Structure 1
Amino acid sequence: MRQFFVLIHRYTGLVLALFLILAGVTGMFIAFYDELEKAFHPAFRLVEPHPGQTKISAVALAGLLQARYPEAMFNRINLHQAAGESTSFYLQPRPGNKTGLVNDEIFVDPYTGQVLAERKWGDISQGSINLLPFLYRLHFSLALDKTGRWVLGIVALIWTLDCFIGACLTFPSSPRRASVRSQSKSHSWLTRWWKAWKVRWQGGAAKVNFDLHRAGGLWLWAMLFVFAWSSVAFNLRDVYYPVMGAVFAKQHFGEDIPRLPKPLIKPTLDVNAALITGRALMQKVSVAHAFSIHYETKIYYDAGKGTYTYIVNSSRDVSEQSSNTAVMFNADSGQQLAVYLPTGEAAGDTVTQWLLALHTAKVWGLPMQIFVSAMGLGVVGLTVTGVRIWLKKRRSRRLVRQLRRPER
């Protein structure tokens, strides 16, 4: 059985190698996505305060921009305007627009309403303006959108299973198979396993490489599992949620609301009225569930279902960097339809929120960003050392076959 697991681990690693290296390298940069964007593109990511002028609200900016982009819909409005930063908008094609949008992300000066830049998010053909978004697309979908997400979802699922196989292979052999010398010392199982956590720095290049792979995998195992299983959550939801649902409870946030026969383009509540309604509903929810609201994040309109979703950062979120507390309501009547509380309501949602926040470095600030970035390098290192182990054993097997080959 152990030899079978060795074969599974070996060839699984070879199949996943390129995917894991790509994910590790791109993940190193994505951990600092916003910081790198501001450093590379300060002209449109950063703004100087205008003396005597107050910021134009994000909703008002969306109204101003709608006349300039009549072919688009401003269905998602980022309400949180950080000091010194431009306000960004993601556009969606208006129903009936068969040509699509030239650009779908706009950056605006919140003091003047001036459009600073626009881009087709992730389209590397536009040049360096899309470098970070393109790396993001590579990381999450191989820059192949739905097909790439599906492929990486399968890769993540295999990686998750291989995490357990790899861990099992580090366990010490049973006493029956252990050497007579080791049996005579009567070492405990944990004592013998502790050797797998160490690197024999004086053992030669091959042993160092093997130990780095084995010990590195053990020391990083917990975070490797977080990356693998949360990647399934991102890319293969049809697998992740049934598995989690078999163990943990989960909230159903608007999943049972049917889609309308045709999109509702002009609901009774415009975005200003919807914002007032969302704030009032969220205030009631916060009182009923005893949590505090830190700041509002976004309001999203789903024309297909005729609903608004109002999202805030609250004490139920895993950190002030992650905003997922939400209320959904009917876009015509304002009737509350669903509430989502990231933590403390359903164990499955709490676990999922922590997994996703750890993967995206949305907790514990800069130290976590550095750690996640370093983990990207760790994934690359484990992959490379694993391939080197395979190459060495492959050469050894070839040499043995050559020596056994009868002379003619």
Structure 2
Amino acid sequence: MRGLLRRLHRWCGLVIAVLLLACSVTGSIIAFEHELDAALNPGLFRTGNLQPALPPNALIARVEAQDPRIRVTQLPLDTRPGQASEWHVQARELPAGATAGLGFDRLFVAPSSGRVLGARQWGAWQWDRAHLLPWLNRFHRTLTLPGRIGNQLLGAMAILWLLLSLSGLVLTLPARWSNFWSRWKPAWQLKAGAKGFRLVNDLHRAMGLWVLPLALCTAFTGIYLNLGNEVFKPVASLFGPISPHPVATLAQLGAPRPSSAILSPEQAVQAARGLLPDAAQDYVPWYMGHLAPRGAYRVAFKEPGMREQALRVRYEQVFIDDQTGELLGRFGYLSGTATDRFLVWMYPLHSGKSWGLAGRLLISLSGLVIALLCITGMLRWVKRRNMGKPTPRG
């Protein structure tokens, strides 16, 4: 049995080593993506103006007036004074049905004035600082491959990684259970004076044990983030119902509604707040977007300190008719089922944000350790192969 596990561990590790190495390094970096992005691009993220933000109506009007080609599709509602907000935009349809090419899908806006500070295409590779962190994020999520190919590869890697971690744990356990801890303790340590193959082997085993809880968590949540609909949700639904997301269930309109008949963004936020569950009345506005093809507003609210303080992951998305303010659907922690609430934890656990700054630091450091595990695992295989080769004569 141990021989089979050893082969499983070796070949699973070799199959995913390079991919896991790349994902571990990029994951370590994007654990602090916003901070690094702001440091690289201060002109996009900081305004130097501590004046309060303008109302969403005025902001959207000013931004769209600066470039008639664009239509704002989503804007944050929680930007702090002195910081710029990053908006989602898309091209307006032209009368002939074509669209004006923009070359960007994000704008950086000063909330106190509506002044546009810059633009970028999220995830695109361009040789400048503004696009570096989004590209790394996209690579970490999809390997920048088209369609679902990258997610399928990463999901398969996460499954193999989970098996790899569990088999590695079993292989470190002592063969005899008497005096268990005294027999298992050396597996967590480096032998004094170890060199060559022994040092590489000890490093690989000890680092694997110390980082194991985070590796198991990251691999498990990675399956959800990449193969959620194909694998994770079908299995999770065996334990309880999963609510469909309103975006997937809202019908498409036959024709766009006239802008004069649509609620203003401020009215939409007010209407959505009145439709929150009772336990979410202290939630603060997070972001909003207009789903024009579906005739709906989506307004998101979050509990104070969400993804900044430990164990703060709750949010609610409220979908309302963009003409009447009628509730079309809710999606979130309180309005969901027990299984929905379980799934809400997957991204915060994967990113470390479920534990605030300390959690992100742990995820970042564990990513570097996992990268070293990949390197020592490959070195271990190479050294073992070389040890088995006959010494050349002459």
Q: TM-score category by the smaller chain? A: 0.7 to 0.9
* Aligned twin of 1:104: 105
2:2 alignment partner AA: R
Q: Deviations over 1:352-396 (max 9, x none)?
A: 333311322323433222222111101101111111111112112
8 Å CA contact retained: 1:317, 1:325 = no
The question of 1:259 aligning with 2:261 is answered no
8 Å CA contact retained: 1:310, 1:328 = yes
Q: Distance in 1 between matches of 2:52 and 2:202?
A: 59
* TM-superposed deviation, 1:291: 3.9
Q: 1:57 to 1:360 in 2, by over 3 A?
A: farther
Q: 1:344 to 1:391 in 2, by over 3 A?
A: farther
* Aligned twin of 1:171: 173
Match of 2:234 among 215, 227, 242: 242
Q: 1:387 to 1:126 in 2, by over 3 A?
A: closer
Match of 1:273 among 267, 273, 284: 267
Matches for 1:25-104 after TM superposition, within 5 Å: 25-49=25-49, 54-94=52-92, 96-98=97-99, 100-104=101-105
Q: Distance in 2 between matches of 1:276 and 1:295?
A: 12
Q: Deviations over 1:291-341 (max 9, x none)?
A: 452421011233343332211112696765756322222334322233333
* TM-superposed deviation, 1:16: 0.9
C-alpha RMSD of the superposition? 2.8
Q: 1:56 to 1:219 in 2, by over 3 A?
A: same
Match of 1:311 among 296, 300, 304: 300
- The aligned length equals 384
Q: 1:196 to 1:59 in 2, by over 3 A?
A: farther
Q: 1:270 to 1:126 in 2, by over 3 A?
A: farther
1:148 alignment partner AA: G
The question of 1:391 aligning with 2:392 is answered no
Structure 1 length normalisation: TM-score?
0.84
Q: 1:265 to 1:121 in 2, by over 3 A?
A: farther
Q: Deviations over 1:222-249 (max 9, x none)?
A: 1111211222222221212112222355
Q: Distance in 2 between matches of 1:344 and 1:166?
A: 40
2:285 alignment partner AA: E
Q: 1:258 to 1:111 in 2, by over 3 A?
A: closer
8 Å CA contact retained: 2:57, 2:264 = no
1:240 alignment partner AA: F
Q: Distance in 2 between matches of 1:315 and 1:343?
A: 15
Q: Distance in 1 between matches of 2:162 and 2:239?
A: 17
8 Å CA contact retained: 2:59, 2:113 = no
* TM-superposed deviation, 1:268: 3.6
* Aligned twin of 1:354: 345
Aligned to 1:56, the other structure's residue is in SS state: coil
8 Å CA contact retained: 2:197, 2:384 = no
* TM-superposed deviation, 1:199: 2.5
Q: 1:105 to 1:315 in 2, by over 3 A?
A: closer
Matches for 1:90-239 after TM superposition, within 5 Å: 90-94=88-92, 96-98=97-99, 100-146=101-147, 147-173=149-175, 175=176, 187-238=178-229, 239=231
Match of 2:288 among 290, 293, 299: 299
Q: Distance in 2 between matches of 1:197 and 1:5?
A: 20
Q: Distance in 1 between matches of 2:241 and 2:181?
A: 35
* Aligned twin of 1:334: 325
Structure 2 length normalisation: TM-score?
0.87
8 Å CA contact retained: 2:284, 2:304 = no
Q: 1:397 to 1:37 in 2, by over 3 A?
A: same
